Amino acid sequence: MLKIENLHVAIEGREILKGVNLQINKGEVHAIMGPNGTGKSTLASVIAGKEKYEVTEGSITFNGKNLLEMSIEDRAREGIFIGFQYPVEIPGVSITNFMKTAVEEVRRYRNLPPLSELEFRKMMKEKEKVVELTEKLSGRSVNEGFSGGEKKRNEIFQMAMLEPELAILDETDSGLDIDALRIVANGVNKLKSPDNATIVITHYQRLLDYIVPDVVHILFDGKIVKTGPKELALELEKRGYEWIKNEYEQQKLQ
């Protein structure tokens, strides 16, 4: 589904990603872990299409299509969803209106018939339940005045609405208390299917108790330095990032 080969990315001339290789298949959950500042969020942003990042080498293909040539919106329409670490507040744009526009444009791109008002409302209601958003979302502005937990739940709600093939959750666990974490993780698990895939980017192992990955990658110094089964996350939790750092430095010396 997603294939990243030898990806090099720079911001303002500074190289952040230095040759990332990654392949994600349908039905898989991948975790990308690593200390701060190693390029985890950069990777998510490059897949999303954020403009200030410059791809200097390598490729990203999604279902065989060259992702790097697509606009931000076309990547989303092709089925990529980014759950942000810091979702932007957009005062004045109601969630209903926002999602209606998004669903409309995504469906048009996918050659699906537009939803009727009734169908759309029904869908909103259903998807709100996924993340236990009991309070009325419809009247509120996107993320405005939301607590940290509400913002993250709103991200998962949007994911549910857009039904992506590949969801990339960037530090979705940051700033969440244990209840919010459980709700968000449950939401993600409910949306899981054999046809879609998830990348969970996280600093801590905690989230992976709830969203169990098939594969764990460790990103360090702009590269994936270690890949393993879910137990790798536990080991990392136990031994700390120093372990990876030391191992990496030694490899470098050799």
Partner 1 sequence: MNSKNYSNVMTPFTDFIQTLFAENKPQLPYTKEVEKIREEGLRTFSEKDFVVFKKENKEIFEKSIANSTNWQLQLTTPAYRPVEEYFKCKVENIDSQMFFFQNGWFVNDGEKLFVNEKGVIIGSLFAALEQYPQLVLPYLTEHPSEKEDTLSALNRMLFSDGLFVYVPDNVVVERPVQLISLIDSNQDLLLNNRNLIIVGKNAQLTFIQCDDSIHFNKSFINNVTKTYLDESAKFFYYKMENKDAESLLFNELEVMQKAHSEFYSNAMTFNAGYIRNRLNVYLKEPFSRANLYGLYLVDKKQHVDSQIFVDHQMPDCESNQLYKGIVDESATAHFLGHVLVRPDAQRTMANQTNRNIALTDEAHITSKPFLEIYADDVKCNHGTTVGQLDEEAMYYIRTRGICEHSARKLLMFAFANEIADFILIDSLKARYKEMIRKRLNGELTICDHCVLHCPYVHE
As measured in angstroms, the least distance from the Cβ of 75 to partner 1 is 8
Candidate residues 21, 109, 204, 225; the one interacting with partner 1 per rule CB under 8 A: 109
Nearest CA to 80 out of 165, 154, 195, 23 is that of 165
- Comparing CB distances to partner 1, the nearer of 80 and 208 is 80
Q: Two tokens at 136?
A: 């009325």
Candidate residues 72, 112, 119, 212; the one interacting with partner 1 per rule CB under 8 A: 72
* Under rule CB under 8 A, residue 84 binds partner 1: yes
Q: Is residue 155 within 8 Å of 165, Cβ to Cβ? A: no
In this structure, the dihedral spanned by the alpha carbons of residues 164, 220, 84 and 216, taken in order and rounded to 10 degrees, is 40
As measured in angstroms, the least distance from the Cβ of 4 to partner 1 is 18
As measured in angstroms, the least distance from the Cβ of 76 to partner 1 is 4
Nearest CA to 94 out of 118, 50, 124, 123 is that of 124
Candidate residues 67, 76, 166, 215; the one interacting with partner 1 per rule CB under 8 A: 76
By CB under 8 A, what part of segment 160-179 binds partner 1?
162
Candidate residues 21, 141, 174, 227; the one interacting with partner 1 per rule CB under 8 A: 141
* Under rule CB under 8 A, residue 62 binds partner 1: no
By CB under 8 A, what part of segment 176-205 binds partner 1?
none
Measured distance CA(197)–CA(91) in Å, rounded: 31
* Under rule CB under 8 A, residue 97 binds partner 1: yes
Query: In this structure, are strands 215-220 and 197-202 parallel, antiparallel, or unpaired?
Result: unpaired
Q: How far is CA 50 from CA 19, 25, 242, in A?
A: 19, 23, 31
Measured distance CA(185)–CA(135) in Å, rounded: 19
The amino acid that residue 72 corresponds to is I
* Under rule CB under 8 A, residue 49 binds partner 1: yes
- Which residues sit at the interface with partner 1, rule CB under 8 A? 48-51, 71-73, 75-77, 81-82, 84, 87-88, 90-93, 97-99, 101-102, 105-106, 109, 141, 158, 162
